[in-house]
Amino acid sequence: MPFGRLRGFQDITGLSAARFTAIEAAAREVFGLFGFEEIRIPLLEEKALFTRALGEETDVVQKEMYEFEDRSKTRVALRPEGTAGVVRAYLENSFDKNQGLSKFYYMGPMFRSERPQAGRLRQFHQIGAEALGTDSPYADVETIQCLVLFLKRAGISGYEVKLNNLGTFEERAGFREALRAYFKPHLGKLCGDCRNRFEKNVIRLLDCKNETCRELARKAPLLASHLTEESERHFNEVCEALKVAGIKYRLDPTMVRGLDYYTKTVFEVSHPKLGAQDALGAGGRYDRLVESFGGPNVGAVGFAVGVERLAMCVTEEAAAEEKFLEDAYFIVTLGERAFKEGFKILSELRNHGVKVSMDFSGKSLKSQMRGADKSKSRYVLILGDNELENGTCTVKDMRDGTQQLRLLDGYLASLVAQQRNKTC
Ligand code: HAM
């Protein structure tokens, strides 16, 4: 084979693809419940959109974007995240003028040219939600609530929600000065990246994984002492309402985010199964982004989760559920007459919308059962000439291995009725 996948890119097949589909279905269900509507935004945008939104000095913009000049000499980039594109679309489609609050969700591939490792890819998938046009702390809480319910629905437990208040851009300016003053005498001990961060984006120094930098960061001044009353009030209301909603969280005053657009509330959901790259998802408020794109001064809040990382954390129970397609059937036949009858049943059931398949190779029972297993159908209908003589079929439940002899017509009618009830 002359071609292979690019490093950090994946083919998603079989059970993984099914798990992705199940996670996406859970997202659609829960986001719909919270009033978010789907938005599909382009994979390619002007590079300047991301530079403006995420911040010139962020790692994503400095080192990780897939960018190039297109045929019309425009500098473009594959989207490294979804928020910037959603804000552009919100303004370009005049949502800011036509509807006060706009709530969108999106899902699809994102691209970051990072060093690949477990849970870190160059093409990965995000599911995200954004609420634009709201300053209310309750919108922050609703967003987190939506995320938590989605995780539950997707079969994920054992995660932790961490919360911090990043304040406004003005408050952070004062904090930056304090950090520079603190780190300056220790410059020689910092790692190369952090010496660079000291100049360009000193707050990111608090996020370094290097042990010496971490040790110094632990004693660094806290942003809390630079916050105004208004920022504190907003954050306190978020914390109170989270308690009312019964959502557990841990305050993490050292949590800073890798993207510059955040203001006030930021949150991260981590999971111990993920190892070094432990963030399942993250988000927060970004009150200045719409305005910085030439729009009105309105607040916004959102989050995104990494689907590959979610798929790694699905609980054993949920994974076991996935082994079978609950409403799928497989027809196994013994003998020529049964084969023809089986094919007729297959066609009729499909006409009624029942998910059913069959092996046409005419091989042994054992080989057909292997096919049934591979199809992940929960139920197998076994038809032999004898059964047909008696108007019966054997139904095997693949989950527990039990078998039942059923009257054929009655059983088929029950499958059709079941399907009809589902679609009503
Ligand atoms: P982010 O923290 O950069 O935030 O990414 C969100 C999630 O995407 C991460 O927690 C992680 O699960 C996943 N992710 C990021 N990079 C990779 C990678 N290289 N490989 C695999 N998974 C990855 C954002 O993107 C913001 N747009 C979130 C947001 C929405 N904030 C407000 N609204």
For the beta sheet containing 67-69, the strands, ordered from the edge strand earlier in sequence to the opposite edge, are 44-46, 75-78, 67-69
Alpha-carbon distance values, 385 to 245, 337, 356, 393, 408 (Å): 60, 6, 20, 10, 13
Residues 6 or more apart from 26 whose CB is under 8 A from it? 150, 153, 154, 155
- Give the ligand 1 atom nearest the CA of 130: 33
Give the mutation target among 126, 127, 266, 269 for probing the ligand 1 site: most ligand atoms within 8 A of CB. 126
- Give the ligand 1 atom nearest the CA of 304: 28
Q: Please report which confidence band the pLDDT of residue 225 belongs to, taking 50, 70 and 90 as the band edges.
A: confident
Residues 6 or more apart from 343 whose CB is under 8 A from it? 358
Residue 329, both tokens: 């059937």
Q: What pLDDT score does 276 carry?
A: 82
Cα of 304 from ligand 1 centre, angstroms:
6
Give the mutation target among 90, 124, 162 for probing the ligand 1 site: most ligand atoms within 8 A of CB. 124
Cα separation, 151 vs 119, whole angstroms: 17
Q: Please report which confidence band the pLDDT of residue 75 belongs to, taking 50, 70 and 90 as the band edges.
A: very high
**If residue 122 lies in a helix (H) or strand (E), which one and from where to where?**
none
- Judged on CB neighbours under 10 Å (0-12, 13-18, 19+), 249 is middle
Greater pLDDT, 15 or 194: 194
- Give the ligand 1 atom nearest the CA of 82: 27
For residues 71-95, average pLDDT: 98
Cα of 291 from ligand 1 centre, angstroms:
23
Residue 266, both tokens: 């930021």
DSSP state of 303: E
Greater pLDDT, 294 or 361: 294
Nearest-CA residue for ligand 1 atom 2 is 282
Residue 363, both tokens: 């091989």
Q: Are 315 and 288 in contact (CB under 8 A)?
A: no
Cα separation, 64 vs 172, whole angstroms: 25
Q: What pLDDT score does 253 carry?
A: 87
- Cβ density class 45-64: b for 16+ within 10 Å, e for less: bbbebbbbbbbeebbbbeeb
Cα of 363 from ligand 1 centre, angstroms:
49
* pLDDT digit string, tens, across residues 175-221: 999 999 999 999 999 998 899 889 888 998 888 888 999 899 989 99
Residue 143, both tokens: 């967003």
Q: Are 240 and 262 in contact (CB under 8 A)?
A: no
- Give the ligand 1 atom nearest the CA of 257: 2
Share of the chain above pLDDT 90, in %: 81
Cα of 307 from ligand 1 centre, angstroms:
10
User: Cα angle at 235 between 232 and 241, to 5 degrees?
Assistant: 140
Q: What pLDDT score does 328 carry?
A: 93
Nearest to 151 by CA among 66, 75, 248, 54: 248
In order of start, what are the domains of the chain with their CATH numbers?
14-168+228-317 (3.30.930.10), 324-423 (3.40.50.800)
Cα separation, 178 vs 172, whole angstroms: 10
Q: Please report which confidence band the pLDDT of residue 386 belongs to, taking 50, 70 and 90 as the band edges.
A: confident
Q: What pLDDT score does 238 carry?
A: 98
- Judged on CB neighbours under 10 Å (0-12, 13-18, 19+), 120 is middle
Cα separation, 161 vs 267, whole angstroms: 7
Give the mutation target among 134, 164, 309 for probing the ligand 1 site: most ligand atoms within 8 A of CB. 309
pTM of the model: 0.87
Nearest-CA residue for ligand 1 atom 15 is 306
Q: Are 45 and 85 in contact (CB under 8 A)?
A: yes
Q: Are 137 and 237 in contact (CB under 8 A)?
A: yes
Cα of 36 from ligand 1 centre, angstroms:
19
Cα of 351 from ligand 1 centre, angstroms:
43
Specify the pairing of strand 392-397 against strand 75-78: unpaired
Pocket (CB within 6 angstroms of ligand 1): 81-83, 112, 114, 119-121, 124, 126, 128, 130, 258-259, 279-284, 286, 302-306, 308-309
How many residues would you count in the chain?
Answer: 424
Nearest-CA residue for ligand 1 atom 20 is 120
Q: What pLDDT score does 319 carry?
A: 75
Alpha-carbon distance values, 191 to 184, 187, 306 (Å): 13, 9, 28
- Residue whose pair of structure tokens reads 């009503």 in the numeric block: 424
* pLDDT digit string, tens, across residues 296-323: 999 999 999 999 999 999 877 777 777 7
pLDDT at 122 over 80: yes
Cα of 200 from ligand 1 centre, angstroms:
22
Cα of 343 from ligand 1 centre, angstroms:
48
Cα of 108 from ligand 1 centre, angstroms:
12
Residue 137, both tokens: 């702390």
* pLDDT digit string, tens, across residues 240-271: 999 999 999 999 988 988 899 999 999 999 99
For residues 88-109, average pLDDT: 95
Nearest-CA residue for ligand 1 atom 21 is 120
Nearest-CA residue for ligand 1 atom 22 is 306
Cα of 29 from ligand 1 centre, angstroms:
21
Cα of 177 from ligand 1 centre, angstroms:
28
Q: What pLDDT score does 416 carry?
A: 94
Cα of 266 from ligand 1 centre, angstroms:
13
Nearest-CA residue for ligand 1 atom 10 is 281
Which residues are bridge partners to 334 per DSSP? 384
pLDDT at 362 over 80: no
Residues 6 or more apart from 199 whose CB is under 8 A from it? none
For residues 83-88, average pLDDT: 98
Greater pLDDT, 410 or 424: 410
Nearest-CA residue for ligand 1 atom 18 is 120
Residues 6 or more apart from 418 whose CB is under 8 A from it? 327
pLDDT at 231 over 90: yes
Q: Please compute Rg for the chain using Cα positions.
A: 27
Which residues are bridge partners to 45 per DSSP? 77
pLDDT at 395 over 90: yes
Q: Please report which confidence band the pLDDT of residue 24 belongs to, taking 50, 70 and 90 as the band edges.
A: very high
For residues 2-22, average pLDDT: 93
- Residue whose pair of structure tokens reads 């190892």 in the numeric block: 275
Q: What is the SS3 assignment for 324-365?
A: CEEEEEEEEEECHHHHHHHHHHHHHHHHCCCEEEECCCCCCH
Cα of 35 from ligand 1 centre, angstroms:
22
User: Cα angle at 374 between 369 and 377, to 5 degrees?
Assistant: 80
